[in-house]
């Protein structure tokens, strides 16, 4: 296609589609209004097109033929802008504010008004209205406002301010794509709300699109904006308009009844400069609005998030000034990632990505991570909690299992669920990757649950509550569901009814999964939930204290999202950490990994039709032929008898493997005949939807497993300690470092001076050590669930016996009261002192002003009862408590 033909067939058509309907050839001394003028003469030669709006020339276009790339010829349009002397503008020597270069398919654009502006690719020409709006924008003024008004919004944490400042600094350098990588649970939505407020307040943006990938997340975002107070006494949605789509009851939190403002359709079709708003929308809905129903995401179908009322709309590229894409690690397949990119690419807008897991393809799209807040830093600064590990080792998990001839097994038909007992005629071996996919040994799952139960019941006994727990199962398939098996085993083990253990997956058998998730988060039951990966993203369950991996995970993105379910703080239950029960070696697999993931898309990029079309068009024919051969061979291995009979009507003898093997030769010698088969609609449909042979699922009920579990302590630096190693490390620290912690030195060398202040300081200093010497961890290591911190330290330093707080207090009071007589009233006060010590380990004068002492007359009364000798008595008691000896 020549340049002239490219102009006529492609560029003129594109201009008219963007509102430049009046396209004329240049005439000397003629005035133009709303017009695209071809071959406009400038001092530096004729510009291919000059665009006029309201009688002013505002843009030059350099056109090239279709076969040429337009990026590097943008400089020619810039040259024409310098040679255009008939207009009212002058921007650093440029007399036109905007320039384009295009080959009819690809369009490059640059705003010349700023010296440091960057050129970039756009999908369509700007409409006349868009160009008028761009011309009215004063980016320098917007940047000046941001510079003069530092980020000072109430409740923003220091790192959240840093994140917003990083975005604003990037905007000052003309960046248009930026990525924020912030650990799960560190407030990405709050940061986005504050950022949107500042962009709107400064004028940098007027119309903002906030994209999410679940309707429930859209509802959460609308609720977050309604609750956000950027100015004293004013909520965000009272300052700026917030629009959304309609929500269903199950999209909302419990008790929420609001009906959000639905964005008027004309706001998308005909954006106006007077419009100032935030539109919260799902990526699925916007995809349909832009490209129609053929743009559906595979992961959307059937999960309850279909946008049934969405329709295709003609949306210009300037509809939004800024797009913030939440959870932008989405795009689990190459095809889906392409669809996700198309939505973002359609708009000429600043784009900000938010993610906890910056995948390689996400980073590639946004060019750069402008700010990163890691899990490690969040834990170190106290905004997330760390985890400890219980490794569950199972023989069958590690080795698989072997079935001998003559063994009885249960055969399950995965299509109908029909079960039958059978005696094996030959041996069969199932490795670890076959478990729960081709075969199962129920005893393996029982043993894993039993090891988990030991720790969970011990936790319940110590803390008075059962820890909320999330099990990750391998699958939830009809009739052979690993999730269902775990649910049944857990219900049998804990025997607390069906409500105590629930399944929440994307399966059609789960009723209202979003409601079930909210119940898990907000109510005491369920206490245990079994899922596959539905609870990996966009779900906030701060009270979650256990994660159990019975599912191998190879995707770094998925792993970090799963772990993110447990990192959130829950002060109401004094959550200090969560525990990971690893029954399949997930933590070992990711032990050497970093925060950054290079997870590749999982599925083929192209459909079978695209491969066949490439062969037909002789595009990289050898490669595409090999690709088709591989896909045919895959079909041959999986097709059912019924499928072979269907293929027999299309290829010789229905022998798919032979057809695949001979395909390269057939394409060389019988091109037309072979391509007729390959391009036949019936053949392509069958390749995409051929009947698969159903493999029977083996249940080896007689196979017994051996499983053991071991608690692993994890330091803040990632170092892992077995219990024995943890004890050795602690005892070595206590014996060699009393001078480094003043409270520790006082406890060991000056017990009479040890007070509540020293006790608090000691707990804080020990827990902030890289080894995390918390009271809870030390109790676990010493297998003494009620030992108090003083006896633990004395045991480590001097070998004194471990005691519970109650035993400790009783022993100290025996030492102090031995050989002394006390009146009945003094005995009552000693009982109060005893109860206080069991809870607090140390007692001081100010404690007598608190309940229950205050009910009996506080310090003044107590000192009278003890005849003025109470201070001396308390010193003796505290010394005895610290010394721990008889």
In this structure, are residues 558 and 299 in contact, taking their beta carbons and an 8 Å threshold?
no
Phi, psi of 53 (to 5 degrees): -140, 125
- Contacts for 737 with CB less than 8 Å, ≥ 6 apart: 744
Average pLDDT over residues 37-49: 94
Would you place residue 417 in the very low, low, confident or very high pLDDT band (cuts 50, 70, 90)? Answer: confident
Instruction: Give the tens place of pLDDT for each residue, 676-715.
Output: 999 999 999 999 889 888 888 888 888 888 888 888 888 8
- Three-state secondary structure call for residue 406: coil
Least confident of 45-49, 272-276, 331-335, 690-694: 331-335
- CATH 3.40.50.300 residue ranges of the chain are 140-380, 386-391+440-589
Give me the pLDDT at residue 299, please.
45
Least confident of 9-13, 32-36, 160-164, 709-713: 709-713
- Contacts for 345 with CB less than 8 Å, ≥ 6 apart: 121, 123
How far is the C-alpha of 551 from the C-alpha of 878, rounded, in Å?
A: 51
pTM score, whole prediction: 0.79
Give me the pLDDT at residue 334, please.
56
Give me the pLDDT at residue 769, please.
87
Average pLDDT over residues 777-803: 85
In this structure, are residues 177 and 349 in contact, taking their beta carbons and an 8 Å threshold?
no
Least confident of 84-88, 234-238, 478-482: 84-88
Average pLDDT over residues 308-330: 86
pLDDT score of 333 more than 60 = no
Which DSSP letter does residue 86 get? S
Give me the pLDDT at residue 589, please.
85
Question: For residue 455, which of 381, 388, 378 has the smallest C-alpha distance?
Answer: 388
Would you place residue 301 in the very low, low, confident or very high pLDDT band (cuts 50, 70, 90)? Answer: very low
Give me the pLDDT at residue 335, please.
61
3-state secondary structure 601-664: CCCCCCCHHHHHHHHHCCCCHHHHHHHHHHHHHHHHHHECHHHHHHHHCCCHHHCHHHHHHHHH
Q: Alpha carbon of 244 to those of 261, 514, 618: distances in Å?
A: 6, 19, 47
CATH class of this structure's domain 386-391+440-589: alpha beta
Question: For residue 307, which of 248, 256, 220 has the smallest C-alpha distance?
Answer: 248
User: How many CA atoms lie less than 13 Å away from 120 in the CB half-sphere?
Assistant: 19
- Contacts for 126 with CB less than 8 Å, ≥ 6 apart: 18, 98, 109, 134, 316, 317, 318, 348
Exposure letters 758-796 (e unless 16+ CB within 10 A, then b): bbebbeeebbebebbbbebbbbbbbebeebbbbbbbbbb
Give me the pLDDT at residue 595, please.
47
pLDDT score of 457 more than 50 = yes
Question: For residue 76, which of 105, 96, 57 has the smallest C-alpha distance?
Answer: 96
Q: What is the mean pLDDT of the chain?
A: 88
Neighbours of 337 (CB within 10 A): 19
Q: Alpha carbon of 784 to those of 434, 452, 772, 773, 805: distances in Å?
A: 40, 19, 17, 15, 11
Least confident of 586-595, 707-716, 821-830: 586-595
The residues pairing with 387 across neighbouring beta strands, listed in sequence order, are: 578
The CATH fold assigned to 140-380 is Rossmann fold (3.40.50)
- Three-state secondary structure call for residue 855: helix
How far is the C-alpha of 309 from the C-alpha of 103, rounded, in Å?
A: 37
Average pLDDT over residues 282-307: 71
> Higher pLDDT residue, 646 or 252?
646
Share above pLDDT 90 across residues of the chain, in percent, rounded to a whole number: 50
> Higher pLDDT residue, 472 or 747?
472
Instruction: Give the tens place of pLDDT for each residue, 196-236.
Output: 999 999 999 999 999 988 887 888 889 899 999 999 999 99
The CATH fold assigned to 3-128 is tt1808, chain A (3.90.1570)
pLDDT score of 170 more than 80 = yes
Give me the pLDDT at residue 295, please.
56
Quick one: tokens of 843?
A: 């007692």
Instruction: Give the tens place of pLDDT for each residue, 574-583.
Output: 888 899 999 9
Instruction: Give the tens place of pLDDT for each residue, 47-68.
Output: 999 999 988 999 999 999 988 8
Give me the pLDDT at residue 602, please.
47
- CATH 3.90.1570.30 residue ranges of the chain are 3-128
């Amino acid at each position: 296609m020549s340049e002239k033909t490219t102009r006529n067939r492609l560029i003129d058509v594109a201009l008219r589609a963007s509102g430049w309907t009046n396209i004329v050839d240049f005439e000397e001394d003629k005035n133009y209004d709303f017009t695209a003028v071809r071959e406009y003469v400038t001092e530096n030669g004729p510009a291919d097109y000059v665009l006029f709006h309201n009688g002013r020339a505002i843009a030059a276009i350099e056109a090239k033929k279709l076969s040429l790339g337009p990026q590097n010829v943008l400089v020619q349009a810039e040259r024409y802008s310098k040679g255009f002397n008939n207009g009212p503008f002058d921007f650093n020597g440029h007399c036109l504010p905007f320039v384009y270069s295009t080959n009819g398919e690809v369009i490059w654009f640059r705003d010349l008004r700023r010296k440091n502006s960057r050129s970039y690719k756009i999908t369509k020409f700007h409409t006349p209205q868009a160009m008028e709006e761009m011309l009215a924008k004063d980016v320098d003024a917007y940047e000046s406002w941001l510079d003069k008004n530092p980020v000072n919004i109430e409740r923003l944490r220091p790192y959240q301010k840093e994140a917003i400042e990083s975005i604003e600094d990037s905007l000052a350098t003309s960046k248009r794509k930026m990525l924020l990588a912030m650990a799960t649970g560190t407030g990405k939505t709050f940061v986005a709300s504050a950022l949107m407020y500042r962009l709107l307040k400064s004028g940098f943006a007027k119309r903002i699109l906030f994209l999410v990938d679940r309707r429930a997340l859209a509802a959460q975002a609308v609720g977050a904006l309604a609750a956000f107070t950027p100015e004293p006494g004013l909520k965000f949605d009272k300052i700026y308009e917030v629009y959304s789509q309609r929500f269903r009851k199950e999209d909302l939190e419990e008790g929420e009844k609001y009906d959000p403002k639905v964005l008027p359709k004309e706001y998308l079709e005909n954006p106006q400069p007077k419009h100032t708003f935030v539109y919260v929308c799902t990526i699925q809905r916007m995809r349909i609005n832009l490209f129609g129903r053929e743009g559906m995401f595979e992961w959307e179908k059937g999960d309850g998030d279909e946008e049934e009322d969405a329709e295709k709309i003609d949306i210009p590229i300037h509809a939004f000034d800024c797009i913030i894409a939440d959870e932008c690690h989405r795009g689990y397949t190459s095809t889906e990632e392409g669809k996700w990119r198309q939505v973002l690419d359609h708009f000429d807008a600043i784009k900000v990505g938010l993610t906890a897991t910056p995948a390689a393809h996400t980073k590639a799209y946004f060019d750069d991570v402008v700010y990163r807040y890691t899990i490690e830093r969040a834990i170190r600064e106290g905004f997330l909690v760390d985890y400890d590990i219980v490794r569950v080792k199972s023989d069958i998990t590690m080795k698989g299992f072997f079935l001998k001839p003559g063994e009885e097994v249960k055969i399950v038909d995965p299509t109908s669920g029909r079960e039958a007992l059978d005696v094996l005629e030959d041996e069969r071996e199932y490795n670890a990757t076959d478990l729960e996919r081709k075969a199962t040994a129920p005893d393996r799952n029982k043993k894993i649950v039993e090891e988990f139960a030991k720790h969970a019941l011990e936790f319940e006994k110590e803390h008075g509550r059962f820890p909320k727990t999330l099990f990750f199962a391998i699958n939830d398939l009809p009739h052979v569901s690993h999730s269902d098996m775990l649910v049944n085993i857990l219900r049998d083990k804990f025997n607390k009814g069906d409500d105590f253990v629930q399944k929440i997956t994307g399966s059609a058998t789960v009723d209202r999964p979003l409601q079930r998730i909210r119940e898990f988060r907000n109510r005491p039951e369920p206490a245990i939930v079994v899922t596959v990966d539905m609870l990996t993203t966009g779900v906030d369950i701060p009270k979650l204290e256990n994660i159990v991996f019975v599912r191998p995970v190879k995707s770094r993105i998925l792993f970090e999202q799963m772990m993110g379910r447990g990192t959130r703080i829950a002060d109401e239950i004094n959550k200090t950490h969560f525990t990971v029960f690893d029954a399949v070696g997930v933590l070992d697999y990711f032990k050497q990994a970093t925060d950054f993931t290079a997870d590749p898309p999982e599925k083929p990029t192209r459909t079978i039709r695209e491969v066949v079309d490439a062969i037909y068009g002789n595009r990289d024919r050898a490669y595409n032929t090999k690709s088709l051969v591989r896909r045919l061979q895959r079909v041959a291995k999986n097709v059912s008898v019924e499928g072979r009979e269907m293929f027999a009507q299309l290829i010789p003898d229905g022998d798919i493997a032979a057809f695949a093997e001979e395909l390269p030769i057939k394409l060389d010698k019988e091109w037309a005949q072979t391509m007729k088969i390959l391009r036949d609609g019936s053949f392509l449909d069958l390749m995409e939807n051929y009947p698969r042979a159903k493999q029977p699922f083996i249940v080896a009920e007689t196979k017994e497993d051996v499983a053991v579990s071991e608690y692993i302590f994890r330091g803040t630096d990632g170092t892992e300690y077995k219990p024995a190693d943890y004890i050795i490390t602690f005892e070595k620290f206590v014996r060699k470092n009393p001078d480094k912690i003043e409270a520790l030195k006082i406890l060991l060398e000056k017990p009479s001076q040890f007070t509540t202040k020293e006790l608090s300081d000691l707990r804080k200093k020990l827990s902030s050590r890289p080894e995390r010497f918390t009271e809870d961890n030390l109790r676990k290591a010493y297998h003494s669930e009620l030992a108090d911190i003083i006896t633990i330290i004395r045991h480590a330093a001097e070998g004194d016996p471990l005691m519970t707080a109650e035993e400790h207090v009783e022993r100290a009071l025996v030492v102090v009261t031995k050989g002394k007589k006390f009146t009945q009233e003094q005995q009552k006060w000693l009982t109060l002192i005893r109860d206080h010590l069991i809870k607090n380990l140390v007692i001081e004068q100010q404690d007598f002003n608190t309940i229950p002492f205050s009910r009996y007359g506080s310090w003044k009364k107590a000192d009278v009862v003890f005849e003025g000798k109470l201070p001396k008595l308390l010193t003796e008691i505290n010394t005895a408590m610290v010394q721990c000896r008889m």
